[in-house]
Amino acid sequence: MEQPAHQLSMTVLMTPDMANFAGNVHGGTILKFLDQVAYACASRYAASYVVTLSVDQVMFRQPVHVGDLVTFLASVNYTGTSSMEVGIKVLAENIRTQEVRHVNSCFFTMVAVDDDRKPTAVPPFRPFGPVEKRRYAAAVLRKELRQEFEKRFSAANAATA
């Protein structure tokens, strides 16, 4: 199955070693897969190594169970000079009933780095179609909100120092 360079999907069967005694997959297990998918998607798009800068809005909507087939759908939504936002939607499928649930969503900011681990330029992302344009606009808003939050947080820390 071919996908554009800015998109990636990965499917994993959830096994007992990934879960607690109640049969629910650990959130940390899902986070590990999310980071791997974000890395693969961003690295593929930028054609370079990438590192995780931040993770926003991780929302565990429903539990994931042992035996679920979990699909991670990743997409580069926005690029800066060396950074990229990768949005990831997580779907869990009960193999027996074929019921599919939206169990998680989040946004990773990844930074492309060169062989010396210094930030390096990434290709600009040009959204096409209404879905990509909506995702791009939302990514720009999230970036502005992160910058505003950092500005306020820094000002509050400076006032208490």
Q: How confident is the model at residue 75 (pLDDT cuts 50, 70, 90)?
A: very high
Are 82 and 111 a contacting pair, CB within 8 Å? yes
Are 12 and 40 a contacting pair, CB within 8 Å? no
What pLDDT is attached to residue 153?
A: 86
- The mean pLDDT value for 120-139 works out to 96
Segment 95-106, tens digit of pLDDT: 999 999 999 999
The residue assigned the tokens 């344009």 is 133
What pLDDT is attached to residue 63?
A: 96
**Residue 138, φ and ψ in degrees, nearest 5:** -65, -35
Q: How far is CA 103 from the centre of its chain?
A: 14
What pLDDT is attached to residue 43?
A: 97
Structural domains of the chain, with CATH: 7-126 (3.10.129.10)
**Nearest Cα to Cα of residue 76 among 68, 85, 67:** 85
Are 101 and 91 a contacting pair, CB within 8 Å? yes
What pLDDT is attached to residue 1?
A: 64
Instruction: Look at 157 and 79; give whichever has higher pLDDT.
Output: 79
- The mean pLDDT value for 25-32 works out to 96
Q: How many CB atoms lie within 10 A of CB 132?
A: 18
**Nearest Cα to Cα of residue 86 among 60, 122, 119, 117:** 122
